[in-house]
Amino acid sequence: MNHRILIQLSLAAGLFLGGAAAAQQGSPPQPAPANPNDVIPEKLPFNVPYGAPISLEKAQAAIAAAMEEANKRGWPLNITVVDSGSNLVAFVRMDGAMLASIAISQHKARASAKFRRPTRVYEDSILKSGFNYTMTLDDVIAARGGIPLIEDGKLIGAIGCSGGTGSQDEAVCTAGAAAINK
């Protein structure tokens, strides 16, 4: 029995001395990774001021540009334009566009206007950065295809597209936004 205790004490002493030797070699303790949410930026991100609501004429121009791109590629989509207050201004459902995507295109446009940023930002925040808390924010949609409409440095509305893949929706939205965002 004493032999067993001596072996255990020897092992414990070896572990203790080995740990002390490692500590003396100057290997600094590794700090825990910082929570990215603890970083305090100097400026507000996406701080585009709200402007006057987009006119129907401009909303229709954005939709026409988006439809032209969608038609060129053979993608039947739903396309929505909202004003700076996220209110519906114009909507088109192209022939053959998915019915479920009507509400999704509207959601993308509203979220883009409310939060003053492309909806792709939320997709990236979850997929690339692991910011799962994003899913707790009201009215967020973490799918690309919603783009703010900016005129003279002010947000006048947003465009949302749905019915294809996220990258297809975004490509068509980008064409529509280009009619306004010059």
What angle in degrees, to the nearest 10, is found between the helix axes of 56-73 and 166-178?
130
What tens digit of pLDDT does each residue of 90-123 get? 999 999 999 999 999 999 999 999 999 999 999 9
Tokens of 77: 């989509």
Rounded to two decimals, the pTM is 0.78
Query: How many angstroms separate the first and last alpha carbons of the chain?
Result: 86
pLDDT tens track for 67-86: 999 999 999 999 999 999 99
Which tens digits make up the pLDDT trace of 41-50?
889 888 999 9
108 near 146, Cβ under 8 Å? yes
Instruction: Report the alpha-carbon distance of residue 156 to residue 164 in Å, rounded.
Output: 26
Section 21-47 average pLDDT: 68
Q: Is the pLDDT of residue 14 over 70?
A: no
**Is the pLDDT score of 151 beyond 80?**
yes
pLDDT, residue 2, reads 47
d(CA 121, CA 168): 16
- Token code pair at residue 143: 């799918």
Q: Where are the beta strands (DSSP E) in 30-98?
A: 78-83, 88-93
> Measuring CA to CA, which residue among 127, 128, 163, 131 is closest to residue 145?
163
